Structure 1
Amino acid sequence: MQSWLPTVKDSVAAIVLALLVGAVLIMFSTPRVIESLSYFFSYPWDFFKFSGIAVFDGYSALVRGSVGSGSSLVRTIERAAPLICAGLGVTLAFRAGMFNIGAQGQMILGAVAAGYIGFHYDLPVGLHLLLALAGAIVLGGLWGGIAGFLKARTGAHEVITTIMLNYVGRFVILFFLGKETFQRPNSDNLLSPPVNDSATFPAVFGLHLGVLLAIVAALGIWWLLERSTWGFEIRAVGANPQAARTAGMSVSRVYITAMVVAGMLSGLAVSMMVLGRQDPLTDQIAGSVGFDAITVALLGRATPLGTVLAGLLFGALSAGGLTMQAAAGVPPELAQVLQALIVLFVAAPALVRGLFRLRGDGQAVGVEAKGWGG
C-alpha cells in the first residue's frame, strides 16, 4: 500500500489540477464573465461573482449529470464499462512491455461478430447471447493476436501494426456493411439491424447486466497478473525481455498471448454496446472508446484497480458533459478537454509534484511499455 501511495497522490493531484484549469476555461467561456472584464478595474466584484457562479453551475451540472439521479448513474456505469474492459486490454499489454493502440480495431471486429450472430440467427434465449458474446471475444482476440504474432515472429513494432490494423478493421466493417446480409431490409444505408432481443443482456432497473462482466474482467486480470505463473512471466517480460529469455521464459509466447487476451477484452467492451444497448453496426460503432482506453490505462497506472477507477471517472465525465451544456451553457467538449488535461498532467508528474509540493519518492507503478527500441 505504501508503494502505491505516491502514485495515488500524483493521480489525484493531476485530476485536481485539470479541474482547476477547467474552471478557468468555464469562466472565460461564459458571456457574463467576459462582459464583466470591460469594467473590471472599476467594479471587479462582478467578475469574481459571475466567475464563481459559472464554475459552480458547470461542475454541479457535471455531478448531477453523472451521479445525480438513478438514470444518470445508469448512464455513467454503461459508459464506463466498455472503457474499463478496453482499458484492461491496454493495461495487460503495458505490463507485457507493449503499447496496444489497436483496441479500436479489435472492438470493430468484435462488433462484426457479435452483431452478425445477434441479428442474423434466431436462437433460444441465453444460447443466442452466449454465442454472440463468444463471437465478439474470439474475433477481438484473433485481431489482437495478429499484432502479437507479428511482434513475436518478425519484430514488427506493435504501435505500427495496431494502428494499421485499426484502419483495416474499419474497412472490413465497411465491406460487410455494403453486403445485403448486414443491411436493414429495404435500405442501402451502411447500417445494420439491431441484434434480436434474445441476444441482449438482461436489464435490471434500466441497467444491462453486461456491465458486471467489466468487474469480473478486472478481478480476472488482477488475479492473472498478481497470482498466476503466467502473470509473473508477463511482468518479467515487460520489465526486461532479455533477462526473461535468459531465465527460460518464452518471450514470443507472452507477446502473442498477451495481445490475444487484450483483444478479447476489447471484444468484451464492444459487446456491451452491441448486445447491451443494442447499437446497430456502423463504421463508428466503437466511437472513441478504443483510444480513450489508452488514457484510462495511463491514468490507472496500468493496474486493474486503477483502470476501473479511471474508467468510472471518464464515464462520469462523458455522461455529465451533455448536462453541463443543457443546464449551465458550458460547451460539451469541456468534458473531453478535462480528460485530455488529466492525461497530460498524469504524464508530467514532476510538474504536478512541483505545483502541489508533493514528495517525489514514488514512481509510476506498473507501466512497463517500452519505447521504439523496446
Structure 2
Amino acid sequence: MNKVMKFFMRDSAIIPLAAIVLGFVFGAIVMLAGGYNPITAYSSLFSRVFGNMYDFGETIREITPLILTGLAVAFAFRAGLFNIGGEGQFIIGMTGASFVGIKLGGLPAIIHAPLAIIVGALLGGLWAAIAGYLKAKRGVNEVITTIMLNWIALYLANYTVNHFLLLKGQQRSVDIEPTASVSLGWLSAMFDNARLHWGTLFAILAAVFFYFFLWKTKQGYELRAVGHNTNAAEYAGMNVNKNIIKAMFISGMFAGLAGVFEVLGVFHYQTVMPASPGYGFDGIAVALLGLTNPFGVLLAASLFGILTYGSAGMSFGADVPPELIRIVIGSIIFFVAAQGIVRWVIAPLYFKRKKEKVV
C-alpha cells in the first residue's frame, strides 16, 4: 500500500510523457475507425516537419508564440492565478507593435524595432494588469475578466486597424516599416527563407527569466507564496494585492511579446481579424502539459508546434483531415488533466519494472 501511495504522489515527467503516448494511441484508434492508416499519417506528419530546411524553420516559427503564451499562463498559475486572457494580451501586444512600427517611421532600426517590442510588451502587461487590479481590489474572478478582455481586445484591435492603420481597399494595415522588422535574414536564408525572427531567442530567454525570477529572487518567492496561500503570505507581511497585479502584469508581457514578434517578424502587417488567432488558448494547453514549469513549457510548445505545423503533411501524405491532429492534441490535454487514468494505466508497468530489479 505504501508503494502505491508513493507512486501516486510522485512528481515527475512520467505523467506528461505517458499522456503524450496515450494521446497518439487514441488518435491512431480514431484514424483506424475513420479508415485511415495511422502509421502513414504520423510518418507524413513528421516528414512534413523534418523533411527539409524550410519546413523545419517554419516549425520553429510556429513553436515560438506557443512558448510565450504558455509561459504567460504558467507564470500566472504559479502565483495562484488562472490567466485565460493570453489571447487578448497577444492581440493588444500585436496592435501596439503595429502602431509603433507604422506610425513612427523614420526612426533608425536600432531604436524603432526595440521601441515597438517594448511598447507591445508593456501594453500586453497592462492589459493583463486590468484583470489583476480587479482581482486584487474588488475580488473579481480573473477567469471572467480575462475572458471578457479577450473580446474587448479583438474589437479594439480591429477598430485601431480600421481607423488608423488601414491599407485602402484592403482588410489589413499598411506594411510595417522595415526599420521595425525583427526578421533574421541571414538565418532565414540558411533555412530556405523560412520566416525566422528574433522572437525565438526572446522566448528562450523568457523561459530562463521565468525560472530565475520565480525561484532565485525575493520577489519571485513572494509571488509563489501568494500563489500557495494568500492568508499565510499576508500574515508574513507580504503585499498580496501588489503581488497579484505584478504577477498578471508579467504574465501579460509574455503573451504581449508573442503578438509583437508575430506581427514584426512574420506577417509585417496586421489584418482586421474576424476571430482570435488562438495562440493564447493554445498557451493554456501548453502550460498544462509543461506542468507550469518554464522548461517544461519549452518542450510542450515544441510538441504542439510540431503537431500543428505537421498536420498539413497528414492531409497531403495520407489524406487525413488536419482536424484529426486536434483530436490528438485534445487527447493529450485530457490525459494530462485526468492524471488518475494515466497513473492507473502505467502503474502496473512501473511496479513490474521495480519487481524485476529486485529479482
What is the match of residue 158 of structure 2?
A: 174
What is the match of residue 323 of structure 1?
A: 313
Q: Distance in 1 between matches of 2:115 and 2:276?
A: 20
What is the match of residue 142 of structure 1?
A: 126
8 Å CA contact retained: 2:181, 2:268: no
SS at match of 2:172: coil
Tell me the TM-score normalized by structure 1: 0.85
CA distance 1:217–1:358, shift in 2 (3 Å): farther
Task: Give the CA deviation at 1:121.
Answer: 2.3
What is the match of residue 265 of structure 1?
A: 254
What is the match of residue 206 of structure 2?
A: 217
What is the match of residue 200 of structure 1?
A: 181
Q: Distance in 1 between matches of 2:64 and 2:112?
A: 22
- Give a deviation string over 1:77-98, Cα, whole Å, max 9, x none: 1111111111111111000101
- Give a deviation string over 1:260-317, Cα, whole Å, max 9, x none: 0011111111112101102532326851100000010011111101111101110001
Does residue 283 in structure 1 map to residue 273 in structure 2? yes
What is the match of residue 293 of structure 1?
A: 283
8 Å CA contact retained: 1:29, 1:330: no
Task: Give the CA deviation at 1:100.
Answer: 0.2
Unaligned 5+ segments in structure 1 are: 34-53, 362-374
User: What is the correspondence of 1:22-61 to structure 2 with a 5 Å cutoff?
Assistant: 22-30=27-35, 54-61=37-44
Question: Which deviates more from structure 2 when the two are superposed, residues 190-199 or residues 87-96?
Answer: 190-199
Task: Give the CA deviation at 1:340.
Answer: 0.9
Unaligned 5+ segments in structure 2 are: 1-6, 352-359
What is the match of residue 334 of structure 2?
A: 344
Q: Distance in 2 between matches of 1:279 and 1:80?
A: 18
What is the match of residue 357 of structure 2?
A: none
8 Å CA contact retained: 1:62, 1:324: yes
> Sequence identity of aligned pairs in percent?
38
Tell me the TM-score normalized by structure 2: 0.89
What is the match of residue 96 of structure 2?
A: 113
8 Å CA contact retained: 1:66, 1:72: yes
Q: Distance in 1 between matches of 2:253 and 2:9?
A: 28
Runs of 4+ aligned structure 1 residues displaced above 4 Å come to: 2-6, 358-361
Q: Distance in 2 between matches of 1:200 and 1:25?
A: 43
CA distance 1:107–1:360, shift in 2 (3 Å): farther
CA distance 1:266–1:57, shift in 2 (3 Å): same
Which residue identity lines up with residue 210 of structure 2 in the other structure?
Answer: I
Which residue identity lines up with residue 329 of structure 1 in the other structure?
Answer: D
CA distance 1:142–1:360, shift in 2 (3 Å): farther
Does residue 15 in structure 1 map to residue 20 in structure 2? yes
Task: Give the CA deviation at 1:6.
Answer: 4.2
Question: Which deviates more from structure 2 when the two are superposed, residues 119-128 or residues 263-272?
Answer: 119-128
Does residue 127 in structure 1 map to residue 108 in structure 2? no
User: What is the correspondence of 1:217-236 to structure 2 with a 5 Å cutoff?
Assistant: 217-236=206-225
Which residue identity lines up with residue 150 of structure 1 in the other structure?
Answer: L
Which residue identity lines up with residue 57 of structure 1 in the other structure?
Answer: T
Does residue 159 in structure 1 map to residue 143 in structure 2? yes
Which residue identity lines up with residue 164 of structure 1 in the other structure?
Answer: M
Which residue identity lines up with residue 98 of structure 2 in the other structure?
Answer: G
Q: Distance in 2 between matches of 1:103 and 1:250?
A: 25
Question: Which deviates more from structure 2 when the two are superposed, residues 281-290 or residues 247-256?
Answer: 281-290
Q: Which has the higher helix share?
A: 2
8 Å CA contact retained: 2:8, 2:343: no
Does residue 311 in structure 1 map to residue 295 in structure 2? no
Q: Distance in 2 between matches of 1:111 and 1:65?
A: 29
